Structure 1
Amino acid sequence: MSAVIETEQELTGDALRILQQNLPPHKVARLLSIWHVGQGDDTQERQALFAGETVDSLFEQAMTYQTK
């Protein structure tokens, strides 16, 4: 029996999904702006993560999350 170890990219993707589920969008964006994992393209990841979002839509999501 051998252990399957995911790639760093897969692990990062899992972590981003967990963050999205548990933090409001503005905190995820802020974390991504300061998170330096030493590889990958943060700009590309942010663009994919927030595709179709606007400042207004993110604000509305933050307000909805904050009132929970």
Structure 2
Amino acid sequence: MKIKVINEQKNLQEVMKVLLTHLEPSKVMKFWAACKLSETDYLQLKEQLFAQETVASLYAKIKEYQDGDSQQSPE
């Protein structure tokens, strides 16, 4: 029987990508802080997560998120 060992760093990066896909960045960072995951090299993770992004592409995503959020009913 073979057991696949999961690399913790790669697993954390995958989880962060999923969270950032489904939650607003501020909520992800608050969650991250609450879990005390700050031992990870944030700058390295940031470079990997946003490697293909530009200021314009990030602006477009933020605008799209905010426009979609304003169309939802208040909680």
TM-score higher than 0.5 here? yes
In structure 2, runs of 5+ residues without a counterpart are: none
Q: Which residue of 1 aligns with 2:65?
A: 62
Relative CO higher for 1 or 2, CA cutoff 8 Å, sep ≥ 6? 1
Asked if 1:31 is matched to 2:54, the reply is no
Distance 1:59 1:8, change over 3 A: same
> Greater Rg, structure 1 or structure 2?
2
Identical-pair percentage: 18
Aligned residues: 66
Q: Distance in 2 between matches of 1:61 and 1:36?
A: 30
Distance 1:38 1:26, change over 3 A: closer
RMSD of aligned alpha carbons: 3.1
Match of 1:5, as an amino acid?
V
TM-score scaled by structure 1?
0.59
Q: Which residue of 2 aligns with 1:11?
A: 11
